[in-house]
Structure 1
Amino acid sequence: MYDYTVDERKLMMKEAFRGSGIGVIFMAVFGTLWAGTGVMGLQGWGFPYVELAAIFVGIIMVIVGISLIHASQKMSNQVSDDGARRLKRIGFLFNMVFIAEGLLIGIAIAICNLINQTDLIPGVIAIIVGIHFLPLASLFQIKVYYATGVLLCLLALITWLIVPDTVMVGEHQILAPLSLLGFGCALILWTTGLTLWLGIKNSSRTIADEE
């Protein structure tokens, strides 16, 4: 079994901090956007407190992500040739996955509009987003992404198959599928971001103890 040197482990931690920081920011931004979808389903119920709460969570997570990236910049910048090639390959594959996701979402929206089934668009997008986490889990070796992807897909299916079109809260009508899907996806992504942050903090503490 290969034993990493101290410098190699520090470099790995640097990339872990940077990657986790970027991941947390992505989860924050897209989680907040999904929360916006949930707010649309509420049709004014809870305004403006629900919106403000979602924005607050998003801002806090962005700050956490930026702090991780900032911390990574203080670490060693020495990268071996093999390490540089690996990082370049990871970056290329990530871009390919991201582009494929965008193209599939665009095609799905066009098809839903063409067949006059626009109400399916949020669920289809959630499934595509969920599926895109599966190759990322393998690419970045982040197991929680598998759970994120599966949960997003399951949530979309549940909103299609089980959730009624509308729910009355007092005298206020809520678009239940839209709200459940929006806030559900937001919580899944925010929880993923929190998991990334906790994971990197625990890893850095473990390495510090070993040194």
Structure 2
Amino acid sequence: METTTERSPALQGVAFGVSIVSFFALGWLGWGTGGHLPTAAQICLVVAAALLSVALAAVAWRRWFTTRTPPPVADTSRRMSGRTFGLIIGVEWIGLGVVSGVLGGTGHTDQIAAVICAGVGLHFIPLAKLFGVRAYYVTAAVMCLLAVLTFILAPSTPALWTMLPGIGSAVTLYATCVALLRWRPDQSRS
């Protein structure tokens, strides 16, 4: 009897994750370097980061496309995972939008990047549980630490209000992409 195989839904999730996370890493890098580097240097850095983002996503999608696994026993949890993911992202975006609006409205625009960094970090905690990706706990901790460090260090060096959370988050998110590419979902689901 021949065993049928199909593309892994978990690896498809990894491919989506790497694509999304690498896109946001690029955005964080742009935010963290904007206005702090000569224009030509920033353009070169952002182009290099964009190429890195595309390469990471391409590797993730190729892995999904070329890897065959036995079909899952039951796939009833995928719809609930999608809804839960949407809820987590919706709460994150609404919360960060409100907080950013309050900070902007009260004249504390310099703190927005650090607060968003903390909020993005916190959203990785329920995602870690939802998708069984332990690396997301590390991502959450590092991004929250970056936010705390920004509040400690930036008052004496105003450029750090965007540089530290921006560049730090970009590096953290790119490292998360690498961790996702190394992750073996069939061996670590909790």
Q: TM-score, normalised by structure 2?
A: 0.85
Residue 71 (structure 1) shift: 3.3
Counterpart position of 2:79: 88
When the two chains are superposed, the root-mean-square deviation of aligned CA atoms in Å is 2.4
SS of equivalent residue, structure 1 residue 84: coil
Residue 49 (structure 1) shift: 2.4
| 2:97 partner letter | G
Matches within 5 A, 1:147-162: 147-162=138-153
- Specify the structure having the higher radius of gyration (Cα): 1
Gaps of at least 5 residues in structure 2 are none
Counterpart position of 2:28: 34
Are residue 48 (structure 1) and residue 43 (structure 2) matched? yes
Matches within 5 A, 1:198-209: 198-200=182-184
Pairing partner for 2:126 from 109, 116, 135: 135
Pairing partner for 1:165 from 131, 154, 157: 157
In the comparison of the two structures, how many residue pairs are matched?
Answer: 183
Q: TM-score, normalised by structure 1?
A: 0.77
Distance 1:99 1:116 in 2: 26
Pairing partner for 2:172 from 188, 202, 209: 188
Matches within 5 A, 1:15-34: 15-34=9-28
Counterpart position of 1:60: 55
CA gap 1:47/1:133 in 2 versus in 1, 3 angstroms: closer
Gaps of at least 5 residues in structure 1 are 1-6, 167-174, 207-211
State percent identity of aligned pairs.
25
Residue 75 (structure 1) shift: 5.0
